[in-house]
Structure 1
């Protein structure tokens, strides 16, 4: 019987040590699983952060492009306004020059008219004086 009890105790010890080994294996597997899960979680966090940074860079780049385009559009609008102002100013200067030229032509026309009128009056006076002389000489000869 003692032999049986001894075998039973040895079997229990072997069973206990096997259980302990199993616990150690389970603990090792659990720790390994925890490390893997932590590594995967860290990798996911890093990937999320990288995606977030990529998206931020893309947004910043799009915003920069939008600002550059908006500045170009505003510059074109400003240039168009300046061109329109320059056209309007040139048209006003041209119109004023045409008006000044017309006034000058009208003044020249008046001067020429007055010169012709003065010439005509002078000729009329001379003809009148000649006529008076002729009449006077005709009256003396009668």
Structure 2
């Protein structure tokens, strides 16, 4: 009986891993479409690493000057790429971060001009933005 339960658990885990791999392939395709657009906005790929496991993750960090982000351009790109969930989520996070940065602008926040975007491309994906001093 234990062997049967063990085999069922292994089969389910393999099914989850296969589904995760398929979803990860889709996320990678969307990320590949995002990179040239990010470059157009002045963002460059800073780091990229992989976390292996039953549910693997790809992690990427992009960085660029918050001053180079043009809201109208970002809105246009979002509307032209509505089916790319990674791209849309990243660009909406960029717009939100820029808006907060502008509202907080003052002596302390103004020195933090580099926008750093950390992307976790897994299941589920997540995107976070932070600011740092240039250089």
Q: Structure 1-normalised TM-score?
A: 0.25
The structure having more radius of gyration, on CA atoms, is 1
- Higher relative contact order structure (alpha carbons within 8 Å, sequence separation ≥ 6): 2
> Per residue, is there more strand in 1 or in 2?
2
> Per residue, is there more helix in 1 or in 2?
1
